[in-house]
Amino acid sequence: MALASLPVDVEETVLEPPKFVRDKFEKSVRENEPPSFLLQLEATDPDTPLDQLTYGMTSPDPDITVSQNGSVFSLSGLDADGARNPLTFEVTVTDGHSTDTAQLVITVEDVNEFDPQLNISSSTPPFKVPENASIGEVVTALGATDRDVTNQGFTFWLSDGGQGKFRLNDTTGLLEVSGHLDRRLTQTYQLTVAVSDHGQPPRHSWDQLQVEVESSNSRPEFVGDLRPLTASINVSESLPLGALLITLAASDPDLGSSGQLTFSVVSGNEDGVFDLDPHSGNLTLAKSLNYELTTEYTLLLKVTDHSLPPASSPVATLHVHVINEVEAPLWPLPLPTVYLSQSATCDVSPRLQAFSREVTSLTSQADETVEYVVRNQTNYFSVNKTTGLLTTSQMVPEGLYHVPLAACSAGTNVCSEAVLSVVVRSDNILAFCPVFYQTQVNESSAPGPLVLDLNTNKNDASVSYNITAGNGEGCFRINASTGEIFLARQLDRERTANYTLLISASEVDTGQTADAQVIVLVGDTADTAPVFLSPLYRGEILEDAPLHSPVLLAFTSIPLEVKATDQDENSQIRYSIVPGSDTSAGKFSVDATSGAITLTASLDRETMDPSLGSVYTMTILASEGYMDANTTVD
């Protein structure tokens, strides 16, 4: 056995570390996908088999995990809309000796899963817009939000409501006025607003908002003749019904119904003499004028728009002066047929004179003198120019005569015509004595009393009487045997001032007939209470007004005067303040004759009872001695 010695060189072995194939691993994944494999990490190592490399994460994560073999998995559905997107991790690989790191980036692709949300809701207070808003005026700017992070904008639109009065900019969300607003028609608009996002596919939502129309109404104003709030016109009493007296004009800058105007009479037309068209402003004549009864009318006028609430102009005053015209006297028709005998018809001749003087005893105007004329019958008949006494100038042949008469306003050619039928006979004919009667019955008389006893030239026993005209209301009855006329119904002078009755008498044996005219004048009784032109008068006065200053009609410069009328003849109305009704405690007085309200004590608005609301109230009494009426003044 032999031994030998061998040299051995021991060399140090250096292991190569593993190396990721790239510094960053990236992967995109749709959000909300179920847990799944995402990608495979890769590394190299020249001295370690790849399947012996171990992969991991520097920090564990609830959503992502890396297996030891380098497989990357999601542990839940990922959310692209959260704060962590993309998800960034540090991953590792080791061969047991050395470690390498790389970056893992997982981008979650957004899915359009959320509806956009408007910045309004059903609890949002109503938006306000003035009624006179111009086209294009912005009501509000709408906006929206979306939890989907990749949404690139919104589209807006109105899906319901608005009635064409609003428009919504589809890009900016500006809600604008697109039509003229009318608060009377619509005070509140309920709009349904919709919005969609720009996701794929797009999602949308909607909500409601209210727009309230606020009053911005300007009150109308009279223009033209009534611009100064007072005007006068002259009107002939002979104008026909329906004649146009004046056309009122007004202006209002508002649009829609707020600019639509209605004219009205506040007071002064209680008898309906005038008719005011509320739309055109045409003031026309509704009842005939009579200068002898009324020489002037004072109309208080206003114009009101159709806004909500409506606004009215200051009250304007129109004085209507009635111009007197010469008028033909009125004949009391029908005229009876007069029967004359060539011999004396009646035993008492003054009856004929009495009849003759009454031919035109009623005239339209008591202050005008009447002149009488017979037309084209000068051979047989004549009439006294002043008294109206009809006479025959000579023996009149038998026959029927139609005597044309004229009653003229003295000194003029303004006349009314009538024809009187006169029958002349040679025998003893039936005739009333006289033919014309006039009597008076007081309107307070109860039914039953004798009104008049008619007479003919024959014995009543052979004559039958009848009322043939003028008794359509049945106010009178006649005893057919005696000719006595009685009151059948109580009369009302304020409704009918006189009656013209035509009475027919018939002789039983011969069949002859005769006519008479009976004029019944209705006497007045104080039986009608005064009537105020308005149930409520509103006035105003400055607190520093000097004593004895007039209270002015509200919204005008016209002194306030309460006015009452009375249909009774010759009534004298007196005005007074009802004791205990004056909340000013005597700071005002009313003129007993004119009804004017004036200041009698100093005013101080600051010391007034707060419960009065800066308004004093009093009740005015109108009395004509028998009956009263009240009105209120504020």
Percent of the chain residues past pLDDT 70, beyond the cut? 90
For residue 366, pLDDT beyond 70 = no
Exposed (0-12), middle (13-18) or buried (19+): which is 532, by Cβ within 10 Å?
A: buried
Confidence of residue 109 (pLDDT cuts 50, 70, 90): confident
- Give me the phi and psi of 294, to 5 degrees please: -140, 125
Distance from C-alpha of 61 to C-alpha of 379, rounded to nearest angstrom: 144
What does DSSP assign to residue 172? T
pLDDT of residue 100: 92
Higher pLDDT, 391 or 462: 462
For residue 626, pLDDT beyond 70 = no
Higher pLDDT, 476 or 199: 476
For residue 433, pLDDT beyond 80 = no
For residue 200, pLDDT beyond 90 = no
Two tokens, residue 202: 């797009």
Higher pLDDT, 593 or 311: 593
> Strands 87-94 and 127-130: what pairing?
unpaired
For residue 363, pLDDT beyond 60 = no
pLDDT of residue 368: 46
For residue 102, pLDDT beyond 90 = yes
Higher pLDDT, 256 or 313: 313
Confidence of residue 570 (pLDDT cuts 50, 70, 90): low
What mean pLDDT is predicted for residues 585-606?
A: 89
pLDDT of residue 146: 84
pLDDT of residue 177: 92
For 460-477, write each residue's pLDDT tens digit.
788 999 999 999 999 999
Percent of the chain residues past pLDDT 90, beyond the cut? 26
pLDDT of residue 348: 36
| Among the listed residues 461, 557, 441, the one whose alpha carbon sits nearest the alpha carbon of residue 509 | 461
Q: Which of 49-53, 187-191, 627-631 has the lowest mean pLDDT?
A: 627-631
Confidence of residue 181 (pLDDT cuts 50, 70, 90): confident
Residue with tokens 């088999």: 49
Across 39-43, 128-132, 413-417, the highest mean pLDDT is recorded for: 39-43
Higher pLDDT, 21 or 372: 21
For residue 76, pLDDT beyond 90 = no
Distance from C-alpha of 179 to C-alpha of 166, rounded to nearest angstrom: 7
Distances (CA, A) of 469 to 25, 409, 478, 517, 549: 126, 28, 12, 10, 59
pLDDT of residue 394: 63
What mean pLDDT is predicted for residues 309-333?
A: 83
- Give me the phi and psi of 271, to 5 degrees please: -85, 0
Two tokens, residue 627: 């009956």
- Amino acid type, 11: E
What mean pLDDT is predicted for residues 551-567?
A: 79
Distances (CA, A) of 239 to 19, 289, 298, 365: 121, 8, 18, 17
Across 139-148, 276-285, 487-496, the highest mean pLDDT is recorded for: 276-285
For residue 167, pLDDT beyond 70 = yes
Distance from C-alpha of 204 to C-alpha of 117, rounded to nearest angstrom: 8
pLDDT of residue 184: 73
For residue 566, pLDDT beyond 80 = no
pLDDT of residue 354: 24
pLDDT of residue 554: 75
For 115-124, write each residue's pLDDT tens digit.
898 888 778 8
For residue 358, pLDDT beyond 60 = no
For residue 217, pLDDT beyond 70 = no
Q: Which of 367-371, 413-417, 449-453, 493-497 has the lowest mean pLDDT?
A: 367-371
Confidence of residue 67 (pLDDT cuts 50, 70, 90): very high
Q: Supply the DSSP string of 256-294, one letter for each residue.
A: GGGG-EEEEEEES-TT--EEE-TTT-EEEE-S---TTT-
Confidence of residue 72 (pLDDT cuts 50, 70, 90): very high
Q: Supply the DSSP string of 473-501, one letter for each residue.
A: T--EEE-TTT-EEEE-S---TTT-SEEEE
For residue 5, pLDDT beyond 60 = yes
Distance from C-alpha of 184 to C-alpha of 86, rounded to nearest angstrom: 58
Distance from C-alpha of 431 to C-alpha of 339, rounded to nearest angstrom: 6
What mean pLDDT is predicted for residues 174-200?
A: 87
pLDDT of residue 378: 60
pLDDT of residue 22: 93
> Who's near 586: CB < 8 A, 6+ residues apart?
600, 601
Q: Which of 116-130, 152-166, 377-391, 484-498 has the lowest mean pLDDT?
A: 377-391
pLDDT of residue 344: 54
For 503-518, write each residue's pLDDT tens digit.
999 988 888 888 888 8
For residue 355, pLDDT beyond 60 = no
> Who's near 630: CB < 8 A, 6+ residues apart?
532, 578, 619, 620, 621, 622
pLDDT of residue 295: 86
**Is the link from the previous residue into 220 a cis peptide, with omega within 30 of 0?**
no
Mean of the per-residue pLDDT values of the chain? 83
Dihedral angle over CA of 49, 51, 52, 58, nearest 10: 120
Confidence of residue 13 (pLDDT cuts 50, 70, 90): low
For 122-154, write each residue's pLDDT tens digit.
788 999 988 888 899 899 988 898 887 777 789
pLDDT of residue 605: 82
What mean pLDDT is predicted for residues 36-46?
A: 91
What mean pLDDT is predicted for residues 57-82?
A: 87
What mean pLDDT is predicted for residues 62-76?
A: 91
For residue 351, pLDDT beyond 80 = no
pLDDT of residue 176: 92
Distance from C-alpha of 83 to C-alpha of 497, rounded to nearest angstrom: 102
Say if CB 442 and CB 526 are below 8 A apart. Answer: no
pLDDT of residue 260: 81
pLDDT of residue 352: 27
